[in-house]
Structure 1
Amino acid sequence: MATAAFEDIAETFDFLEDWEERYRHVIELGRAMPALEDTFKVAAYKVDGCASQVWLRPQITDGRFDFQGDSDAMIVRGLIAVLHALYAGLPVAEVAAVDAPAELGRLGLNDHLSAQRSNGVRAMVERIRQTAAEAV
């Protein structure tokens, strides 16, 4: 189960020739994402378990999940953008049903991220799932 925005990313990844191009695309996704205001870069929104500084600010409106995010590392900002495409707009009750490792595996991210980055992605997914579960 993936959103249309995530499917667009998956299609682009299929089109790109090599991992260097895909990596650049992830970074571009991060650059295109709106920055999180500094007032929200606080401990309550900080994600532990990431090598970089990462903040996720959840927003639930009319039962739908969304979030803003930011990082001090460009590739991580891109990974946040990918997760945003995967989860944004879903009904809160459906967030737990998303098999993030499988969906991210379709992009090949599991094979091309360092162990620290992979741990960070897992920490972000866990925070998203936890936040949605608390809102249900």
Structure 2
Amino acid sequence: MTIKEKQQEVIDDFEFLDDWEQKYEYIIDLGKQLKGLPENRKTDENLIKGCQSQVWIDASYKDGKLFFDADSDGILPKGIVSLLVSIYSGHTTAEILDSDFDFIAEIGLQEFLSPSRANGLMAMTKQIKFYAVAYQLKS
């Protein structure tokens, strides 16, 4: 499945939900499904700056693709980072760099979040792009 197809799937899922309470529950459920990170990978290097809660994103590169693992100490940020990981993990650096984050506006996520959480979301997306640039330069 392409990144665009995964984004469209998320958009479709959110359109199916009636109100923000249901959308909030959906995001929390995504966080509960995230396997998380072991303590030794919850480092300052992997910590996302600008998030209200602690959020860690780690990346590994295998067979030409970038894989993300993440965790958070907050239930909502954990769901948000889980959503991002499910979309962008397992794709090439070029696919990630060629993609956009427009689906976030389409599902209205930024409008639903407090300003500090919206800043955290933007910090997460920047970190995913940063990893793609860094691994592209290595390969």
| TM-score where L is the length of structure 2 | 0.90
- How big is the shift at 1:85? 2.2
- How big is the shift at 1:92? 0.9
Distance 1:76 1:21, change over 3 A: same
- How big is the shift at 1:3? 4.6
Write out the 4+ residue segments of structure 1 that deviate beyond 4 Å after TM superposition: none
SS in structure 2 opposite 1:34? coil
For structure 2, the residue ranges without an aligned partner over 5 or more in a row are none
For structure 1, the residue ranges without an aligned partner over 5 or more in a row are none
Structure 2 residue identity aligned to 1:19: W
Cα contact 2:8–2:103 (8 A) shared by 1: no
Cα contact 2:3–2:95 (8 A) shared by 1: no
SS in structure 2 opposite 1:45? coil
Q: How many residues align?
A: 135
- How big is the shift at 1:4? 4.0
- How big is the shift at 1:5? 3.8
The equivalent residue for 2:71 is 70
Cα displacement string for residues 97-129 of structure 1 (whole angstroms, at most 9, x for unaligned residues):
2211x1111211021111111100111111111
| TM-score where L is the length of structure 1 | 0.92
Is 1:54 the counterpart of 2:55? The answer is yes
Q: Give me the whole-angstrom Cα distance separating, in 2, the residues matched to 1:65 and 1:107.
A: 25
Q: Give me the whole-angstrom Cα distance separating, in 1, the residues matched to 2:133 and 2:114.
A: 28
Cα displacement string for residues 11-56 of structure 1 (whole angstroms, at most 9, x for unaligned residues):
2211111011001100000001102111111111111111111110
The equivalent residue for 2:13 is 12
